[in-house]
Structure 1
Amino acid sequence: MRKKLLYLLLIAAVTGCKKESKQAVTPPVVSTTDTTSVPIHFSLKAEYNPKKLGTDSVIFTTVGDSIFGVVPAMSNEKNFTLSFSPFNADVKIGNQRQLSGMIAHDFTNPVTFTYTDKNGKVKDYKIKISNFTGIPILNLTTTGPVVSKDNYVDGSLIVNANGKYDVQAGSIDLQIKGRGNSTWDMPKKPYRLKFKNKAGMLGLPAAKNWVLLANYSDKTLVRNSIAFEMARQFGSDYAPHGRYVEVFMNKEYLGSYTLCEQVEVNPGRVDITELKAKDNGADVITGGYLLELDQRLDAAKYFWSSQGLPFTIKSPDAISDAQLAYISDYVNQTEKALFSADFADADKGYAKFINVDSFIAWFLVKEIMKDSDAKDFSSDFYYKERGGKLGMGPVWDFDLSGGNTDYTDAGLPTGWWIKDSKWFSRLFQDPAFKAKVKARWLVLKANAIPNIFASIDRGAAYLDLSQQQNFKKWDILGIYVWPNTYVGGTYPNEVNHLKEWLHTRIDWMDANL
């Protein structure tokens, strides 16, 4: 090799001196002994997928042996023709040789491609292709516009889980109407879904009733979901589950939503005995009941407690007069014991009537998030199982929490809120109750409380493409939306503000507990 290089240098020197010479130069010898593996690159190109990708080609992201691609077009198309480079690479699915840009495949589920490089090294790549933003998509079709919270509209639902969950094949028959109170008056509407038959949704147990939370004023889009997760980690009773989804209605994109389980008596939800109208005997009338403290009195049946708190009946639906009398009397006995001179007595006081651990778990979630409505106003749920005591749960309604409230002190990260409500202010006068709260807090500080911030980061990362589409539809990041205390201008700023608020909140609670 050295001799060859010297020879070439001599030729170059001679030809450089004799510029008039037309003698060709022999190219140097290049070794073909290359021990490095030639990398493979996968992509989707619009030219090989006409009318499926629009004008945008999709480049895949590789993480280890898994390759992820998101098709930005608003469709449920799953058949795509894959391209790879080098174009003549030895790529197979099973024993079938693949040709770059030539063969279409169904990517409803991940597809494994096997690549053999020129040195015989074999490697499998699991390729997953998602639609739109990569999170599950709910495609709703209705027989007319949904303009009422009172009247259902017939329709159907097709779920594209984007490979994240097993889903029911085909269309789900349903009815849909509006829901919410102040949120229904916002441009991005929340909805209530009622299936004709029970069906599971995105890994959640089968049921008929589901909720789509719009999260319009919560520009992080995560407050409800992270509060639900916090409740599960804190041991709160019957904490609901949420799934981030994209919602289309009659082919119109409505935005990024949270699909939730409806608060109701049902296996997998508020899993207590379902009380029938005929269950009026002494052995069965004790439960189960689902109540909501709700100043709006948004229910057919309700009662006022002796302390002036309004309790609406969520279940049973058709409550009998005897049952209504029983549960109202039980709540009044609870209040009588709680506000008596012997309220702290284990046998005579409040502990005879309430599940103390249940109250503490509910309190800590609501107090950390400083939910504005939870201070004796609305969405405070109570349950009573047959033969059991009164418990609190599930937690609910967190879009106006976590510092996202400008009309009360609930927007401040310091100061008590739920603790100053009627029942809890009395409970905290009992040293034994205070000690139990503090002991529970110390346990949660080790793992569950730090996990709040990991949950926020996971949710924000998962929603990255979704939030971009949502705020293209609803251009509100830079403007005030009632009742924002902060306008960040960007999605990362909104998420960071929530985290900073919670850090301050948790530090304050830790110091004051």
Structure 2
Amino acid sequence: MRKILLIAFLATAVLSCKKDAVKPSTQTPADDLAINALPTVVLKASHNPGKLTADVNCTFKGSEVSALVPTIDNNKTFVVDFTTGVPNAVVTVNGVVQQSGVTAVDFTNPVTYTVSVNGINRKYKFTLKNFTGIPVLYLNTSGPIVSKDDYVTGTLVVNTNGLYEQPKNNIALQAKGRGNSTWTVPKKPYRLKFDSKAELLGMPAAKNWVLLANYADRTLIRTSLAFEMGRKIGAHFTPQTRFVELVLNGTHLGSYVLTSQVEIHENRVNIAELKETDETGDAITGGYLLEVDFRLDAPLWFRTKKNLPFTLKDPDELTDAQFAYIKDYIQQTEDAIFADNFADPVNGYAKYINVDSFINWYLIEELGLNIDSKDQSSVYYYKDRNGKLGMGPLWDFDISFGNTWLPGNIWYTKGGLWFKRLFQDPAFVKKVRTKWALVKSREKDIYKRIDEMALYMNLSQQKNFEIWPLLKPDGLPLQSRGDYNGEVAYAKEWIGKRILWLDANFAAL
């Protein structure tokens, strides 16, 4: 009886399978392409000799295909191996039929792969990145860069890694060193001067650019973070930044921050450009870009009556009349700040300074407890034609956000010569509190942005600290947190505590 039942069951199962097998399919060629156009895409080492030592499997996200190859070389021509899950499908790039494992493709910019069958197409955007996935700058010079004063000629080759539009990828330039204390450390910062204006990694066209080494910042992100925070609250003329890998004359130097040179320019500090003939009337009133710098490291400089050291940043050459004008205006400003009627909204300090620009600059500097911000250096002021004295741009935040020997529960920037006096005006304090409320309301956004930057920089920081082993306890004078994630976590924790302290103490003013 059991044998009879088993035979009947098997017969039923066979009939069922045959029935399913002959059931007509309702799936169309378009359905096949949508589901199974390119099941696998791989860059095989055997088909890319000299470029790969192991196969690289590509990843899919909808209709986007991406691959990260480990080489730092600026050669993005690769042979791709792929399979198609649809019979008789044809794969093309710009109308050229692709043969798996044979056809070489230039991936300098993203490439569109089209899979076609029976007149139906499925397109894939294929992006190939190399090394750490962030942009790579290849700086090649006619000789070594050994001076902050003397330029050497060269070229800059730009590999955007598909992240930015770059109209010109090969740029003629001059390069030299830059910085003060930062020039004395092993990982050097650089100044670039293009032969002609050019856009760079999505930033507006200009000639002058800066590569910051961030040697003392184990997170590598403090300056970029401060600049982003400044732009969000309206800090005047705050630069954009881009994280990049720098290869100098064939040697990888690690992770750098590319940003603007601080200068009067339509895309930088956008104020009137002073001409040599602008010596009278409205013309002589601007524009001027100044820096408080205790080193007095500029051809033109002066001290106020209260000994505040100003240097002329741009223009760095003035006529006697122009120098006398700006020196006198700065002194009138200081006199008004310390006058008995300094809080008078008409004839006091507000007659001479752009108060909002002072407050926006101050809040980012105080939050970061930037060591330079208390009348040391990188404290920039500008004066436009027929305008008041403003503060900005923000600059130089590698020694900030807890990356100092100072505790986070103190006033710092507020103790600067002029700010100490401005805080004696209740109207100024009220404006500071109002703007501080905006900064504090974005606290969660700050932590989110830190996490995003750290994730973006993950591979870059690994390569950087292989070259510069600064995460070790003896890597820098300041305490190490053991590894990169520890450094990032510490910065977030420090900012949280700093915000709590500032919030309580602004309220108590």
TM-score norm. by structure 1 comes to 0.89
CA–CA distance in 2 between the matches of 1:10 and 1:381?
A: 88
Match of 1:466 in 2: 460
Equivalent in the alignment of 2:139: 140
One-letter amino acid of the structure 1 residue matched with residue 130 of structure 2 = N
- Contact 1:400–1:483 at 8 Å: present in 2 too? no
Moved more, 36-45 or 333-342: 36-45
Query: Bigger CA drift: 364-373 or 462-471?
Result: 462-471
Moved more, 290-299 or 276-285: 276-285
Partner of 1:370: 369
Query: Partner residue of 1:487?
Result: 480
**What displacement does 1:98 show?**
4.1
CA deviations on 1:146-165 (whole Å, 9 max, x unpaired) are 11112111111111111222
Match of 2:490 among 494, 497, 500: 497
- 2:371 and 2:5 mapped to 1: Cα distance? 82
Partner of 1:100 in structure 2?
Answer: 100
Q: Which moved more, 1:371-380 or 1:196-205?
A: 196-205
Structure 2 residue 249 is matched with structure 1 residue 250: yes
What is the distance in 1 between the residues matched to 2:54 and 2:415?
55
Counterpart of 1:436? 431
> Counterpart of 1:65?
63
Residues in 2 aligned to 1:117 and 1:247: alpha-carbon distance in whole angstroms: 44
Q: Secondary structure at the match of 2:372?
A: helix
Q: Which amino acid aligns with 1:105?
A: V
Please state how far the C-alpha of 1:480 moved relative to its aligned partner.
3.5
In structure 1, distance between residues paired with 2:216 and 2:85? 49
Instruction: Spell out, residue by residue over 1:5-38, the C-alpha distance to the aligned partner (whole angstroms, 9 max, x if none).
Output: 9449999xxxxxxxxxxxxxxxx98965798955
Amino acid at match of 1:430: D
Query: How many aligned positions are there?
Result: 487
Alignment-derived partner of residue 22 in structure 1? none
Q: Deviations over 1:413-451 (max 9, x none)?
A: 22111011111111111100000011112233334x432
What is the 5 A alignment of 1:71-220?
71-85=69-83, 90=89, 92-93=91-92, 98-115=98-115, 123-169=122-168, 171-220=170-219
Q: CA deviation at 1:483?
A: 4.5
Distance change (3 Å), C-alpha of 1:4 and 1:346: farther
Residue 220 (structure 1) shift: 0.9
Residue pairs, 1:47-62, within 5 angstroms:
47-53=46-52, 55-62=53-60
Structure-2 change in CA distance of 1:75 and 1:96 (3 Å):
same
CA shift for structure 1 position 102: 2.5
Per the alignment, in what secondary structure is the counterpart of residue 283 of structure 2? coil
Contact 2:168–2:198 (CA<8 Å) still a contact in 1? no
| Partner Cα distance (1:297, 1:29) in 2 | 91
CA 1:114/1:357 → structure 2, altered by over 3 Å: closer, same or farther?
same
Shift in CA distance, 146/97, structure 1 to aligned 2, threshold 3 Å: closer
Q: In structure 2, what is the Cα distance between the partners aligned to 1:492 and 1:355?
A: 40
What are structure 2's unaligned runs of at least 5 residues? 12-16
1:199 maps to amino acid:
A
What amino acid is aligned across from residue 372 of structure 2 in structure 1? D
Shift, 1:221, TM fit = 0.9
Return the letter of the residue paired with 1:490. D
- The CA deviation at 1:96 is 5.9
Q: Deviations over 1:52-109 (max 9, x none)?
A: 22x1322223233322211111211122121234688746236765443232222222
- Measure the CA separation in 1 of the matches of 2:339 and 2:271: 30
User: Helix, strand or coil: the match of 1:247?
Assistant: strand
**Among candidates 411, 436, 458, match of residue 416 of structure 1:** 411
Q: Aligned with 1:236: secondary structure?
A: coil
- State whether residues 337 and 343 of structure 1, in contact with CA within 8 Å, keep that contact through their aligned partners in structure 2: yes
Does residue 427 (structure 1) correspond to residue 422 (structure 2)? The answer is yes
The aligned counterpart of 1:271 is 270
SS at match of 1:272: coil
Q: Please, which moves more after superposition, 341-350 or 375-384?
A: 341-350
**How big is the shift at 1:142?**
1.0
Letter matched to residue 438 of structure 1: R
- Inter-partner Cα distance in structure 2 for 1:363 and 1:464: 31
Change (3 A) 1:318 1:116: same
Q: After TM superposition, give the deviation of residue 493 of structure 1 in Å.
A: 1.4
Q: Does 1:454 align with 2:453?
A: no
Q: Which amino acid aligns with 1:106?
A: D
The answer (yes or no) to whether the contact 1:256–1:467 under 8 Å persists in 2 is yes
Q: Look up the equivalent residue of 1:457 and give its one-letter code.
A: D
Residue type matched to 2:424 in 1?
Answer: Q
Residue 21 (structure 1) aligns with: none
SS in structure 2 at match of 1:200: strand
Note if contact 1:228-1:240 (Cα within 8 Å) is conserved in structure 2.
yes
In the aligned structure 1, how far is the partner of 2:163 from the partner of 2:4?
60
1:15 corresponds in structure 2 to: none
Contact persistence 1:41–1:85 (CA under 8 A): yes
Task: Confirm or deny: 8 A CA contact 1:88 1:99 kept in the other structure.
Answer: no
2: CA distance, partners of 1:128 / 1:428: 53
3-state SS in 2 of match to 1:283 = helix
1:442 alignment partner AA:
A
SS at match of 2:490: helix
Q: Deviation at 1:182?
A: 1.4
Q: What residue number does 2:238 align with? A: 239
CA offset digits 1:268-311 (Å, max 9, x no partner): 10011111222111221111110000001010010001111100
1:283-302 aligned within 5 A: 283-302=282-301
Question: SS state of the match for residue 372, structure 1?
Answer: coil
Comparing 313-322 with 209-218, greater Cα deviation is found at: 313-322
One-letter code of the match for 2:352?
F
Counterpart CA distance in 2 for 1:152 and 1:373 is 27
Whole-angstrom CA distance in 2 between matches of 1:277 and 1:45: 62
RMSD over aligned Cα atoms? 2.7
Question: Any idea what the Cα deviations from partners look like across 1:91-150, whole Å, max 9, x if unmatched?
Answer: 6236765443232222222223345799x9975332110121111111111111111112
**Distance in 1, Cα, partners of 2:117 & 2:484:** 43
SS of structure 1 residue aligned to 2:272:
coil
**Shift in Å at residue 394 of structure 1?**
0.2
Contact 2:39/2:85 (<8 A) preserved = no
Q: SS where residue 105 of structure 2 aligns?
A: strand
